[in-house]
Amino acid sequence: RPKAKRIDGKKIAEDVRGEVKEMVSELKSSHGVVPGLAVILVGSRKDSQSYVRNKKKAAAEVGFHSIDVDLPDTVTQEALLLEVKKLNEDPSVHAILVQLPLPSHIDEATVLESIAVEKDADGFSALNIGNLCLKGGSPPMAVPCTPAGCIELLQRSGVDVSGKDTVVLGRSNIVGMPVAALLQSMNATVTVCHSRTKDVEAKIRQADILIAALGKAEYVRGSWLKPGCVVIDVGINAKDDATKKLGYRLVGDVHFEEAEQVASLITPVPGGVGPMTIAMLLRNTLQLCRLSIG
């Protein structure tokens, strides 16, 4: 069979960002409002610093007002909650993001719940997640960015998920759980696999669509896949590689070179889901700003 087509996340993310940029300038002229995104970074994790740098840069590029709050590893939960409270009360701020993970002495759920639901840029609050999972109620004000990015990649690649057998690897609050809820809401049949799942390989073999978000380098082998399936690889893992300048290269949760021989469509790492997370954050911020205008 021919090699899988690559889903170009970088290009699709650029398209989304261009759309957001256009809508931001319309909003400025029609309402005189500039969407404001506040990004809170706690500590000095290199990966988090890099994600936050990219988020702020993208926010500036589409014309958002951006507010940076950098706090040390040692910040108390009380001090962090106070920062969130200030941003909740600041009318120039329409969306607040707290970069995860937080240091272990801080309770993540308490911090996420302290963000005003109408400013919840990541859609991580209990109310937004609840509305994502409930049928027939009010829609969430924002949908978690990486899951929304996965769905956007499928839609813009012409993949109809309705009625498809879909396997999600991983059940995290950030990716696995919400992406499973989104797929189910779009009438996919969803199997969520995790560390206690029996015979993951057999489940993967049934999948028309595989979403891999378990965080293990090249875990999924090509021989496990159903021929012609669609693979969305959320993993970003460093793998030792002496031929690279930094001594490593980034790989996904799926063994790409094997999988592209079997799948029909596949996202590369990097350049697949990664760029979409930021594009969806921009879209969420714009959406929250619009909702605030009424």
Q: Determine if 287 is a binding residue for ligand GUN (CB under 6 A).
A: no
Q: Determine if 285 is a binding residue for ligand GUN (CB under 6 A).
A: no
Q: How far apart are CA 234 and CA 252, in angstroms?
A: 7
Smallest distance, Å, CB 100 to ligand GUN? 4
Instruction: Show which residues are catalytic.
Output: 55, 99, 122
Instruction: Figure out which of the listed residues 150, 153, 174, 234 binds ligand GUN, where binding follows CB under 6 A.
Output: 174
Residue 27 neighbours by CB distance under 10 Å? 18
**Quick one: which segment of 56-64, 65-73, 98-106, 209-217 binds ligand GUN (CB under 6 A)?**
98-106
Q: What phi and psi values does residue 38 have, to the nearest 5 degrees?
A: -100, 130
Q: How far apart are CA 120 and CA 117, in angstroms?
A: 5
Q: Which residues contact 4 (CB under 8 A, 6 or more apart)?
A: 231, 259, 260, 261, 262, 263, 264, 265, 266
Q: Determine if 100 is a binding residue for ligand GUN (CB under 6 A).
A: yes
Q: Determine if 284 is a binding residue for ligand GUN (CB under 6 A).
A: no
Residue whose CB is less far from ligand GUN, 33 or 81: 81
Contact in structure between 64 and 39 (CB atoms under 8 Å): no
- What is the DSSP secondary-structure string of 141-203? SS--HHHHHHHHHHHHTT---TT-EEEEE---TTTHHHHHHHHHHTT-EEEEE-TT-S-HHHH
Smallest distance, Å, CB 47 to ligand GUN? 8
Size of site (CB under 6 A) for ligand GUN: 9
Instruction: Figure out which of the listed residues 146, 166, 285, 287 binds ligand GUN, where binding follows CB under 6 A.
Output: 146
Q: Determine if 148 is a binding residue for ligand GUN (CB under 6 A).
A: no
- Strands 248-251, 237-240: parallel, antiparallel or unpaired by DSSP? antiparallel
Instruction: Figure out which of the listed residues 99, 125, 166, 284 binds ligand GUN, where binding follows CB under 6 A.
Output: 99
Q: Determine if 97 is a binding residue for ligand GUN (CB under 6 A).
A: yes
Q: Determine if 145 is a binding residue for ligand GUN (CB under 6 A).
A: yes
Q: By the criterion CB under 6 A, which residues form the site for ligand GUN?
A: 97-100, 122, 145-146, 174, 277
